């Protein structure tokens, strides 16, 4: 969790911000990245253009948008910002609008922030922690929550995924019915391969850990262009509705996940894929 709080300093947090539309909300988050020396104004425009070109796939959970763009020279170092809106705004997402929280990410590469994405996913999936973040009175108070114990996040959450085992407790899940020989791979896909896809990968990994299927299935976060080439190596893709439409027919099942923080939804998608 310390990595997450280090990526979001107090100076990169704004609470109860007035924004007339989604562009202004993303611009506010981008300006905080600029002010803290993480990126330039060019990157802020790239985040806005990302939504304009790919749709509101960055709205990965009810009320939550994870703004980002591809790594580029406009990113000086990996960092994040946090903007809680005074009034929610619409991004055009079919199920997760309106948005009251915008977290922006600028990353120098796809692997520099994987641990922080997992920590953020766990925090937002835990109802008590999420509520505390929504009601934090000051940036300092919010950052204290971010710097809390990651092990406690999700421990009491009701959004859990059960293992597809027999009725006997402690038993390991049976191998996937489609296992055959060798490892299976599931791709999590977003427009850039560095933000929402890593977020979804973290939730998927959490479910696979509970199922004890790590020996059968590997996961990989990637972007839309790479996913089309990697589809032949995978058994399925998990992604947003918007990115699913962009991918089209890639020759393997594509499962749409509406809430990237929901282990229940990912659990159901896995059960459907493997007929569990």
Could you report the per-residue pLDDT of 5-36, keeping only the tens digit for each? 889 999 999 999 999 999 999 999 999 999 99
Say whether 68 is catalytic. yes
Q: pLDDT band at 95, cuts 50/70/90?
A: very high
More confident residue, 265 or 159: 265
Q: Which of 68, 93, 100, 184 is catalytic?
A: 68
Question: What is the per-residue pLDDT across 143-158, written as a single tens digit (0 to 9) for each?
Answer: 999 987 433 444 444 4
Q: How far is CA 65 from CA 93, 124, 151, 261, in A?
A: 10, 12, 24, 12
Question: What is the per-residue pLDDT across 47-81, written as a single tens digit (0 to 9) for each?
Answer: 999 999 999 999 999 999 999 998 899 999 999 99
- For the cut 80, the answer to whether the pLDDT of residue 168 exceeds it is no
Q: Taking residues 2-7, what's their average pLDDT?
A: 79
pLDDT at position 183 is 87
- For the cut 80, the answer to whether the pLDDT of residue 2 exceeds it is no
For 263, the 3-state DSSP assignment is: helix
Q: Which long-range contacts (CB under 8 A, 24 or more apart) does 263-266 make?
A: 263/125, 263/159, 263/160, 263/161, 263/203, 263/206, 263/207, 263/210, 264/159, 264/160, 264/161, 266/161, 266/200, 266/203, 266/204, 266/207, 266/238
- For the cut 80, the answer to whether the pLDDT of residue 210 exceeds it is yes
pLDDT at position 180 is 54
Give residues with Cβ within 8 angstroms of 143, minimum separation 6.
5, 8, 9, 10, 13
Question: What is the per-residue pLDDT across 106-139, written as a single tens digit (0 to 9) for each?
Answer: 988 876 667 777 788 888 888 899 999 999 999 9
Question: What is the per-residue pLDDT across 217-261, written as a single tens digit (0 to 9) for each?
Answer: 999 999 999 999 999 999 999 999 999 999 999 999 999 999 999
Question: What is the per-residue pLDDT across 187-200, written as a single tens digit (0 to 9) for each?
Answer: 999 987 778 898 89
């Amino acid at each position: 969790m310390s990595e997450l709080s280090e990526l979001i300093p107090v100076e990169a947090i704004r609470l109860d911000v007035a924004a007339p539309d989604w562009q202004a909300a993303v611009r506010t988050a981008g300006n905080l990245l600029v002010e803290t020396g993480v990126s330039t104004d060019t990157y802020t425009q790239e985040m806005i253009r990302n939504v304009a070109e790919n749709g509101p796939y960055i709205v990965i959970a009810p009320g939550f948008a994870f703004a980002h763009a591809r790594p580029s020279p406009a990113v000086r170092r990996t960092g994040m910002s946090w903007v809680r809106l005074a009034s929610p705004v619409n991004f055009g997402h079919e199920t997760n609008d309106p948005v009251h929280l915008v977290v922006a990410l600028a990353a120098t590469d796809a692997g520099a922030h994987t641990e922080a994405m997992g920590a953020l996913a766990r925090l937002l999936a835990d109802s008590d922690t999420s509520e505390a973040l929504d009601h934090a009175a000051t940036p300092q108070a919010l950052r204290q929550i971010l710097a809390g114990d990651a092990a406690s996040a999700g421990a009491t959450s009701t959004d859990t995924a059960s293992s597809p085992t027999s009725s006997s407790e402690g038993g390991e899940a049976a191998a996937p019915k489609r296992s055959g020989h060798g490892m299976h791979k599931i791709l999590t896909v977003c427009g850039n391969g560095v933000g929402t896809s890593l977020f979804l990968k973290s939730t998927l990994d959490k479910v696979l850990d509970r199922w004890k299927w790590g020996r059968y299935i590997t996961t990989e976060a990637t972007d839309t262009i790479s996913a089309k080439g990697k589809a032949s190596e995978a058994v399925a893709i998990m992604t947003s509705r918007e990115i699913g439409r962009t991918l089209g027919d890639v020759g393997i099942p594509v499962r749409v996940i509406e809430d990237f923080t929901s282990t229940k939804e990912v659990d159901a998608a896995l059960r459907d894929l493997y007929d569990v």
